[in-house]
Amino acid sequence: MASDIVLLAAVSVLSACQQAYFASFVGKSRIKHKVIPPAVSGHPEFERTFRAQQNGIEFYTLFLVDLWTAGWFFNQELASLFGLLYIYGRHLYFYGYIQSVKSRLQGFSVTKMALILLLVMSVTGITNSLLDKYIHINLLNKIRHIVLG
Amino acid sequence: MASDIVLLAAVSVLSACQQAYFASFVGKSRIKHKVIPPAVSGHPEFERTFRAQQNGIEFYTLFLVDLWTAGWFFNQELASLFGLLYIYGRHLYFYGYIQSVKSRLQGFSVTKMALILLLVMSVTGITNSLLDKYIHINLLNKIRHIVLG
Amino acid sequence: MASDIVLLAAVSVLSACQQAYFASFVGKSRIKHKVIPPAVSGHPEFERTFRAQQNGIEFYTLFLVDLWTAGWFFNQELASLFGLLYIYGRHLYFYGYIQSVKSRLQGFSVTKMALILLLVMSVTGITNSLLDKYIHINLLNKIRHIVLG
């Protein structure tokens, strides 16, 4: 629907920078705690830092799928906003996890909420497009017509 | 070629939900087998569950690249069908691996076959587009003309 | 800007094949060093091979985000070239890491340089598009006009 993707691209590049920052943080934590590669264990704080980064990677592609389909099929501005919320949640999660295992939970809730909001937008937008494509009913356009008069 | 991407988007979101489900399953397996984060070992069933999810992540981005290039440059409907086959293979792999190391192999074969089919479509479609772009020969269109008369 | 994406798609599929090759290499290393799944440790060379592949996965999505935004918002040909540089760096990194922990560093520098070059193109292109969208100033087009007369 939205042909414009520049906000989605900006949020994606911002999140890519965040992932790169986390990766370099793990490298610094290796040096700090003398965990020599390829080992990924040996010091509790390093292990938490590493798991925090790994969890970010596990969800990163999934996040991008939700972000782009939500932005493309529903609304770019709203999807980008929830994308920023996700990045904020990842930030909380990462620094929380480094402090303690329990402190990661707040950030995790924020990322989960952001992903659910994006997913709802994705599923709504894609369902609407499928209905439009195969039985020529565009519910979202109808709702817009009613709301906007 | 195909400007329409809604089926590819639908398959991508479905596979993202599957990845999220696997991640939450690992979380439940942690609780069941008392494997406290950030540890990723401690009980054989948890370790198999974790590796099954990790393998899914390892291949997830690769799968999306193959799915979208196959769908964009060759045929959206066929690519989406093989995308569903991949998701089915991932399902078999995950639950197979939880049962035993050997039981993962059937699902692995299905995902491998789906990826190879998508890759063949990708390479064919991209090669055709490159020929079209640089030496103005569109082989796929010619074949379509001959087949469809 | 560039509606054409075939070079970006070709580089993406090539890098996906590289990831698949690394994954199968890890499988062969398992057999060679008798590391039975789901274990990911047990022999130094296997551990280096596994970490080399995992590092590739950690950066793979990030690389694709940078590649596509650089190619879409700045220049497809240049982005594809730097994409090939990244793939070459990954190749050096992987085989270097298998030899020794230290030998991975050269390849790592090449991938890092490729990512930074792509990132600079992304940020420049996206910033230009944002300025164009919201305050109707297209700096890149102006520069092109001046350079090309």
What's the ipTM? 0.93
- Determine the Cα–Cα distance for residues B136 and B140; give it in Å rounded to an integer: 12
- Determine the Cα–Cα distance for residues A148 and C143; give it in Å rounded to an integer: 41
CB atoms inside a 10 Å sphere around CB C125: 24
What is the interface size between A and C, counted as CB pairs within 8 Å? 60
Question: B55 CB near a chain A CB, below 8 Å?
Answer: no
pLDDT confidence of residue A148: 80
Contact C96, C48 (CB under 8 A): no
> Residue C2 — very low, low, confident or very high, per pLDDT cuts 50/70/90?
very low
> Which site among B4, B11, B12, B49 would you substitute to test the A interface, given the most A Cβ atoms closer than 10 Å to its Cβ?
B12
- Min Cα distance A58 → chain B (Å) is 6
Compute the mean pLDDT over every residue in chain A, rounded to the nearest whole number: 94
Residues within 8 A of C (CB atoms), A 2-41 only:
4-6, 9-10, 12-13, 15-17, 19-20, 23, 36-40
CB atoms inside a 10 Å sphere around CB C86: 26
> Which site among A1, A58, A99 would you substitute to test the B interface, given the most B Cβ atoms closer than 10 Å to its Cβ?
A58
pLDDT confidence of residue B1: 35
Specify the DSSP class assigned to residue A101: S
State in Å, rounded, how far the first CA of chain B is from the last one.
Answer: 20
**Cα separations in angstroms, A98 against A28, A44, B26, B35:** 13, 9, 21, 18
pLDDT confidence of residue B94: 98
Q: What is the DSSP string of C9-28?
A: HHHHHHHHHHHHHHHHHHHH
- Min Cα distance A101 → chain B (Å) is 7
Residue for token digits 């010091």? A43
pLDDT digits (tens, 9 = 90+) for A116-128: 999 999 999 999 9
Yes or no, beta carbons of C119 and A17 under 8 Å apart: yes
| Residue B111 burial class via C-beta count within 10 angstroms: exposed 0-12, middle 13-18, buried 19 and up | buried
The answer to whether residue A23 scores a pLDDT higher than 90 is yes
Facing residue for C38 by CB, picked from B62, B65, B101: B101
> Residue A95 — very low, low, confident or very high, per pLDDT cuts 50/70/90?
very high
- Determine the Cα–Cα distance for residues A87 and A104; give it in Å rounded to an integer: 14
Question: A139: which 2 tokens?
Answer: 């519910």
Residues within 8 A of B (CB atoms), C 67-126 only:
none
Q: What is the DSSP string of B51-72?
A: HHHHHHHHHHHHHHHHHHHHHH
Question: B88: which 2 tokens?
Answer: 């089915």
> Is the pTM higher than 0.80?
yes
pLDDT digits (tens, 9 = 90+) for A27-46: 999 999 999 999 999 999 99
Where chain B has pLDDT below 70, the residues are 1-3
Q: What is the DSSP string of C37-92?
A: TT---SSHHHHHHHHHHHHHHHHHHHHHHHHHHHHHHT-HHHHHHHHHHHHHHHHH
| Residue C13 burial class via C-beta count within 10 angstroms: exposed 0-12, middle 13-18, buried 19 and up | buried
pLDDT confidence of residue C1: 34
The answer to whether residue C3 scores a pLDDT higher than 70 is no
pLDDT confidence of residue B104: 95
The answer to whether residue A3 scores a pLDDT higher than 80 is no
The answer to whether residue C108 scores a pLDDT higher than 80 is yes
Question: C99: which 2 tokens?
Answer: 């030899």
Facing residue for A69 by CB, picked from B4, B9, B19: B9
Facing residue for B38 by CB, picked from A47, A58, A115: A47
pLDDT confidence of residue A2: 34
The answer to whether residue A114 scores a pLDDT higher than 50 is yes
Residue of C nearest to B128 (CA): C6
Yes or no, beta carbons of C61 and B61 under 8 Å apart: yes
Share of chain C above pLDDT 70, in %: 97
> Residue C4 — very low, low, confident or very high, per pLDDT cuts 50/70/90?
confident
